[in-house]
Amino acid sequence: MRNSRRDFIKKGAAALAAFSVASSSSLKLFSKKPRKASKSLSILILGGTAFTGPHQIKYAIDRGHTVSIFNRGKTKPTINKKYFNKVEHLVGDRNNNLNVLKNRKWDAVIDNSATYPRWVKQTTDILKENVETYLFTSSLSVHADFSVKGITEDHPVATIDDPTIEDMSGYGPLKALSEKVAQKAFKNRAIIVRPHLIVGPGDRTDRWTYWPVRINRGGEVLAPGDPSQPAQYIDARDLSEFDIHLIEDNLFGTYTAVGPLGKLSMAEMLYGIKAVISNDVSFTWVDQNFILENKIKPWAEMTAWMPSGGEFDGFFSFGNSNAVNAGLKYRPLAVTARDTLRWWETLSEERREKPKAGLSIIKEKEVLKKWKSKIK
């Protein structure tokens, strides 16, 4: 068993390293400005300053569209800052102040900031007669059952006993209800996009950023569970470009936005990140039961990972064929890893010293020491 495990890691590592290095030769491709769209659209983004918003703004403007953003004016972007001089800033509050949206017309709206159905209802009531397309940024958390693999857009969504509750503990069901509100208001003019773990430059959660940052630090890295376990994510730029593409081409419907294009294992992801980093790094794969016994929290501390088996067995095995057929494209892992690390290094030292997710240096060393004692 141990030999087959070791063989898998070696083969996967070699394949992904070769892929990532080869991809590095074409990194410049993803720095070029896109071609102008055939028709300039007016787009309103609800939110716009957090993570995906700045990427949506950049791509939309580069495509020749005009952009307005609506938010409270409190969150400062950490990426694509110069583009914010090119957008119309509308200040209000999803909770109780939407006045600046009244009697305005846009070709399309991208709703990034709604968590509660009430917010979507209030917004769509104002905009449905003055906007052609409504794109709602939902989440794969809407699904009712993550234990099965190959979940697609048609799988059942979660429900909640009290649809009026406004508590993040009901995040998935409330997103599902919000989808229905948008679809009821805009009917066949609604687009629902359900992203997986969003990663890349501008990440405010650090849930995936932890890995390139940790691997860049070098040394022995605690890697979780079975190295063949699947991994999935979506680069925020791929997601944002897909959003604009759906609007431009009037591709209404519901889409699971997840990558990469093909299957990717946890080992392939980690070795793929390592391939664009020059530091000396080694991975020690620790059994998932041992991880849980030592109170390492999946997703929060051991990021971009959930234990295999049980209620989350299919959480990294979503089907993406509908989105791919509609035009979703993917950057290579090498590009995502490189750009995420470069962005991270532009942040203040204070911010970098207080990551919002990931395993602490002390805890990682403690668990690795215990694991080595166990397997002697």
Structural domains of the chain sorted by starting position, each given as residue range(s) with its CATH number in brackets: 2-28+203-231+261-313+333-375 (no CATH), 32-199 (3.40.50.720)
In the block, residue with structure tokens 């997601």? 239
Q: Which of 277, 372, 255 has its CA nearest to residue 321?
A: 255
74 strand-pairing partners: none
DSSP 287-307: -HHHHHHTTPPBTTTBTT---
Strand, coil or helix: what is 202?
coil
Give the model's pLDDT for residue 2.
53
Global confidence as pTM: 0.93
Give the model's pLDDT for residue 24.
46
Q: How far apart are CA 367 and CA 246, in angstroms?
A: 46
- Do 236 and 52 meet the contact criterion of CB atoms below 8 Å apart? yes
Q: How far apart are CA 294 and CA 188, in angstroms?
A: 50
Q: Which of 330, 343, 336 has its CA nearest to residue 80?
A: 343
Q: How far apart are CA 200 and CA 171, in angstroms?
A: 23
Q: How many CB atoms lie within 10 A of CB 352?
A: 13
Q: How far apart are CA 209 and CA 204, in angstroms?
A: 9
pLDDT tens, residue order, the chain (376 aa) = 455 555 555 545 555 544 544 444 555 556 678 999 999 999 999 999 999 999 999 999 999 999 999 999 999 999 999 999 999 999 999 999 999 999 999 999 999 999 899 999 999 999 999 999 999 999 999 999 999 999 999 999 999 999 899 988 899 999 999 999 999 999 999 999 999 999 999 999 999 999 999 999 999 999 999 999 999 999 999 999 999 999 999 999 999 999 999 999 999 999 999 999 988 999 999 999 999 999 999 999 999 999 999 999 999 999 999 999 999 999 999 999 999 999 999 999 999 999 999 999 999 999 999 999 999 8
Q: How far apart are CA 259 and CA 234, in angstroms?
A: 5
Q: Which of 366, 336, 367 has its CA nearest to residue 24?
A: 336
Q: H helices of the chain, where?
A: 2-24, 52-62, 117-127, 171-186, 210-217, 236-248, 266-274, 288-293, 321-326, 333-344, 349-352, 361-375
Q: How far apart are CA 225 and CA 269, in angstroms?
A: 14
Distances (CA, A) of 80 to 29, 76, 135, 137, 210: 18, 11, 22, 20, 21
Give the model's pLDDT for residue 32.
73
Q: How far apart are CA 2 and CA 8, in angstroms?
A: 10
Distances (CA, A) of 196 to 4, 45, 215, 313: 30, 20, 22, 15
CA angle at 227 for the pair 223 and 233, rounded to the nearest 5° = 80
Give the model's pLDDT for residue 18.
47
